[in-house]
Amino acid sequence: MSIDLEGETEHRESEQSDTPAIQQDRNMFDVLFGRFTMCFSVFALTISFFLPVDGLGINICWIQQMFELPCPGCGLTRSVTCISQLEFAKSLQYHPFGGFVYAIFVSNVTILIFSKTKQQAKDLFRQHNVVIQRFYLAFVTLFIVFGVCRTLLAYMSQSR
């Protein structure tokens, strides 16, 4: 019995030591250019050329439906659609982060089409992973801060 327990202990220790190595190996390229993101990018860019820039008139945001306040992502679809239809000023009015999201979508499609570009991008991301992680964190933080500020402003204007 003690032999089995020791074997289990050694097996568990080896599993635990493998986990951090796997997490450390994952870089920002895998986060931003994974299969799901690439498929979603193709879908989003394709429909952005066909959607009307002012939306379909259907509210699909459950946060806005429940609380009658905008969420951090409200307006992104219209912003991306405006960029696809070359209405850049209108895009900024709908959401200031639409251009960044559009750039990520275009990068995903480019990497999907050109395999040489994919390897070059992977190498670049490996070399500068820490810097790219910081930019990503800054982007996400600014996105959330923008959303919270916009929601607070909308709430304050509603309560008047």
pLDDT by position in tens, the chain (length 160): 444 444 444 444 444 444 444 445 567 888 888 889 999 999 999 999 999 988 888 888 888 888 888 888 889 999 999 999 999 999 999 999 999 999 999 999 998 888 788 888 888 888 998 899 999 999 999 999 999 999 999 888 887 6
What is the pLDDT, as a whole number, of residue 51?
A: 93
- Output DSSP code: residue 85: T
Two tokens, residue 11: 């097996």
Question: How is the chain split into domains, by residue range?
Answer: 26-158
Quote the CA–CA distance of 84 and 91 in Å, as a whole number: 10
Ramachandran sector of residue 51 (left: φ over 0; alpha: ψ -120 to 50; beta: rest): beta
Quote the CA–CA distance of 8 and 154 in Å, as a whole number: 57
What is the pLDDT, as a whole number, of residue 21?
A: 44
Two tokens, residue 54: 């002012």
What is the pLDDT, as a whole number, of residue 26?
A: 62
What is the pLDDT, as a whole number, of residue 61?
A: 82
77: burial class by Cβ within 10 Å (0-12, 13-18, 19+)?
buried
What is the pLDDT, as a whole number, of residue 84?
A: 97
Quote the CA–CA distance of 86 and 91 in Å, as a whole number: 9
Two tokens, residue 7: 């074997």
